[in-house]
Structure 1
């Protein structure tokens, strides 16, 4: 009997160890379980501020985004009004304003920011020179603007496109955000004749940058791509039936050459071959097209609507409204966009 009592702990030890391991197993599995992907919330704005008096309102709006605990701000271009000067003083003031955003802020240029600076009301500047200055002021680092920055990749990392610092990409969960310089004055295509060197060089840079983004998204099996540009590319102007652009468009045929034709064709072709969702975000146009809108304007070469492509047009020149983009990782429909009212100014 004494021998049995002495042997009992030894006999029970394996059973006790197994019981302890079984009890701890659920906790161990819970500890090893991957964290649930977080929903990402992004503020979308464009064409603000349009005048100096609106700077305070935009500053308050940027603070509002932080109070709502959003993750990111995207400014789709238009940091000054169409009658404001393109001087260093104005551009510098707007850079400081955006850079004071409490959240990381992505900015892509619009036409009032550089390409329309040639107009007398804007100071009669050389647009190419103003674009160079814009790049120096707003894109000096491989990071977002804002007091809390995030690293990103710029096209200027490629030797062939060293000057195109405004074109960028950043990964947000299982989505890639791509920024392009596509201004709203017919993509800065000039009708004066001769070589459109700025337009042609930037068109090629944009083409390669967008193609690279879709290639990366396919390689990484990403769920979606967000393309951000300022211009409304005019999907409803019958571009699908147009042939290859030539110099005759502006002369013998007496019609305006569509500066967005290649951009639209590339979006169509890349989206048709992409398994995920594509969201194009741009500022609203003028006139009847100046409001917020969501639609599916792209059709494939057979005329069928591309269901994986969605376009969001942001409110024009409105400091009282903004749009919230909610990105849900691994969802069948990862993008949801809702129009929001800004808080009333103090």
Structure 2
């Protein structure tokens, strides 16, 4: 049986229904919009240490056989215990170009944030970030055998992209795991790492600049959605910003390791509260498929924001989202189990 979750959006008004009922025919553009579309969400794969290659081929075949307009990979194209050599990025580029439909990618922590770790090769992770940007975001359009146009944020944050399809705004944000590259203290700086104090100061400066850029991109994306009367906005980033931390005193010590996401999430809540449509928040990082409404604001649930967490290695599956503009519920979310 097909498993799906319907997400409530604003109701279509009676006046709009009456108008559409009174039309003898719709123009071609309107008919195309009424048909809707589907897209795919996936991420946190492949992990070579988990022997993902055979399963990954099955995922690619499944995506290529599916009726989807495009796919979005929400980060981590390698595992966190392997080297960050140049071949990682060229292999990732080749992976996305095996897809028939356009492919959009936003970076995770394993491909740059954690490259300072000794078991990752002890790289300068900011040098790896610059290399990733050159290789993975060296052209304006999407990846994939069939491409689509993307709007990029200004350099150096060219990995943040935005596009629109049939009244839905899609925006990606470079917000990876490992606390968004924010270094907490000296112990955090040097633990199993080749970093020195100066490197960690540079990391924190990078975090501050990118966090501000992400928030600016977020506000601009919501402004565009409101300006165009969009029914929904899909926001995608890699990190789990701490949604599933247990709310117990024993676990409060873990909260600082998520404080690199606080300002962005506060801005997202404000923007969502001032948006009449539905916000679909997509992330990876913790590798367990989930669909829920995890945000409360002053003891009130934010009911127009739904979180989708994608599968991740070794669970090599993907998520299909179908948009039906004629349906006031708009989004249909379905896990696709790859065999």
Shorter-chain TM-score above 0.5: yes
Residue 35 in structure 1 maps to residue 16 in structure 2: no
Return the offset for 1:332: 2.2
* TM-score, with length taken from structure 1: 0.79
Choose the corresponding residue for 1:50, options 43, 47, 52: 47
Which segment drifts farther, 30-39 or 86-95?
Answer: 30-39
Instruction: Name stretches of at least 5 consecutive residues in structure 2 with no aligned partner.
Output: 1-22, 187-200, 248-252
Say if 1:223 and 1:330, in contact at 8 Å, map to a contact too: no
Matched ranges for 1:77-92 at <5 A = 77-92=75-90
Alignment match, 1:276? 277
Alignment match, 1:324? 320
Give the Cα separation in 2 of the matches to 1:144 and 1:284.
22
Return the offset for 1:181: 0.6
Alignment match, 1:75? 73
Say if 1:235 and 1:264, in contact at 8 Å, map to a contact too: no
RMSD: 2.4
Return the offset for 1:335: 1.6
Give the Cα separation in 2 of the matches to 1:93 and 1:257.
30
Higher relative contact order (CA 8 A, sep 6+): 2
Alignment match, 1:115? 113
User: Using a 3 Å threshold, how does the CA distance of structure 1 residues 31 and 164 change in structure 2: closer, same or farther?
Assistant: closer
Choose the corresponding residue for 1:185, options 164, 178, 181: 178
Instruction: Name stretches of at least 5 consecutive residues in structure 1 with no aligned partner.
Output: 1-27, 157-161, 240-249
Larger Rg belongs to: 1
Return the offset for 1:125: 0.8
Matched ranges for 1:117-196 at <5 A = 117-156=115-154, 162-192=155-185, 194=201, 196=204
Alignment match, 2:3? none
Choose the corresponding residue for 2:296, options 296, 299, 311: 299
Alignment match, 1:228? 236
Matched ranges for 1:231-246 at <5 A = 231-235=239-243, 237=245
Say if 2:225 and 2:233, in contact at 8 Å, map to a contact too: yes
Alignment match, 1:217? 225
How many residues are treated as equivalent by the alignment? 293
Give the Cα separation in 2 of the matches to 1:73 and 1:188.
26
Give the Cα separation in 2 of the matches to 1:78 and 1:257.
18
Give the Cα separation in 2 of the matches to 1:229 and 1:279.
11
